[in-house]
Structure 1
Amino acid sequence: MMAEPKNRNRRARFATALLALAAVLLWGASRLTWLTVEIFDDKSGAATHSLVGATWSTEQSAIALLLVASVVAALALRRVGRRLIGLVSTIGAVIASWAPMQLLAQGGDPARAKTILTSGAASQRSSAPVTVAQWAEITNMKVSVLGPTLALVACAGALFAAIVLLVRPGADSPRKNRYETKRTREEKISADLAAEPNSQRVLWDAIDADIDPTEK
């Protein structure tokens, strides 16, 4: 009987650790180059620009941070909370997987790439943005496989971990259960003291629970 709760907790801990690893991997993948764009401007000539994952798919960084927050919450919350974390992380992993999957399957969208380049977002530095002229033409686009692939691997790991947390959130520790039982009993006795301050039964219950009935 004791082995089953331990196994459940072991699975929950494994899922939490995997979720943390997936968050780190997704963050790293978002910093890699996902797309290389070659442009030609009749005034400045040809140029090549790299678009990292966080620029091409802005949700990558946000979901990586969401997964980190989910790990912290999963360590602090009880079973119901961990189930909720599993659900939220599942949705986040699915959303994050869409952009790299589409990029690997269909290639980059030239119109989107030009919008990013002309806005200066490709440099990821608001103080020194690298902008491309509106009249510049995209002559070639090449997908860098490593970044999107790592992002998909991270999303797959996060999805697996999130489903484990959702289905097998583990058991609450006996210490936490005992504490909540004691707290619930104290709250009940306090309510009884307020309702029946002269009841002998309530007074003895308060004394048994180490509650001074004269302070109520």
Structure 2
Amino acid sequence: MTEQEPDRDPAAAPARGRASAAAVPVLLLAVAALCLWASSRMTWVRVESFDGLGGARTSELIGGTWAAATTPLALTLVAAIAASFAVRGWALRVVGLLVALVAVAAILPAASLLIGGVDDDKAGRLAELPDRAEVTATETFALPAVLVLFGGVTALVAAVALIRKAGASAGLSSKYAAPAARREEAGNRAATSKEPLSERMLWDALDAGEDPTDADASGPNGQDGPEPTGGTGTRR
């Protein structure tokens, strides 16, 4: 004899779909944060200088120096991952907007470097050159800037996903509701639904004090038992 397959909760498939959708912004935020952090450890600009006294000096400016906000922005994206699990509704929309602002703030210095090149005065100041030193040459490394651009675009996509998730979270299934609310909903459904109930819904209905097997026990007049077919009262 083969064992009978247990009833499946009809809310399980939508719940799995929501769980997959919730994982998308988390993955995107993790990728964006990793891109920003990795770029902050890479060399963005190499500066050649000469002060007239000693030999030529070479200074390498990493992302954390040239674009100082890169590391804090990466940490902000990590914090947004935790916030995406902790908040719902309008608060999640706020998180999405903050992530979008972080993405723009990360993209601007990278795009400026790739498009406008290196400002010698800024390079000398960040390299902490003495006043008598002059910048003789600069070299730009495109890879870390491109990595930031990729991370910024990824963060923008994550922001859109968070805002969409905020709208979808308003219709969260009873699986994620508070136990009392879930029991109340199951009790109401057991009393009114004409469709067969799942095993989970049956147990929730029992917890709510409803008998899911006696949904039709009350008549339309609110009295126990079916409505009598014939009248018993006296006619005038």
TM-score above 0.5, yes or no:
yes
Which sections of structure 1, spanning at least 5 residues, go unmatched? 119-131, 183-207, 210-216
Aligned pairs (5 A) from 1:53-132? 53-118=63-128, 132=129
Whole-Å Cα distance in 1 between the matches of residues 175 and 102 of structure 2?
32
Whether the 8 Å contact between 1:74 and 1:81 is mirrored in structure 2 is no
> Greater helix share, 1 or 2?
1
The offset of 1:89, in angstroms, is 0.3
Residue matched to 2:151: 154
Whole-Å Cα distance in 1 between the matches of residues 173 and 60 of structure 2?
49
Over residues 118-171 of structure 1, what are the superposed CA-to-partner deviations in whole Å (9 max), with x where a residue is unaligned? Answer: 2xxxxxxxxxxxxx2111000111110111111111111111111111123343
Whether the 8 Å contact between 1:34 and 1:144 is mirrored in structure 2 is yes
1:31 to 24, 31, 41: 41
AA matched with 1:156: V
Residue matched to 1:123: none
2:58 to 42, 48, 52: 48
Aligned residue for 1:27, secondary structure, equals: helix
1:134 to 128, 131, 135: 131
User: Does the alignment pair 1:168 with 2:165?
Assistant: yes
So what's the TM-score if we normalise by structure 2? 0.66
Assess, with a 3 A threshold, how the Cα gap between structure 1 residues 34 and 72 changes in structure 2: closer, same or farther: same
So what's the TM-score if we normalise by structure 1? 0.72
Aligned residue for 2:178, secondary structure, equals: helix
Q: How many residues are matched?
A: 171
The offset of 1:78, in angstroms, is 2.1
Whether the 8 Å contact between 1:34 and 1:52 is mirrored in structure 2 is yes
Larger radius of gyration: 2
Which structure would you say has the larger RCO, counting Cα contacts within 8 Å and 6 or more residues apart? 1
Percent identical: 33
Whole-Å Cα distance in 2 between the matches of residues 151 and 17 of structure 1?
17
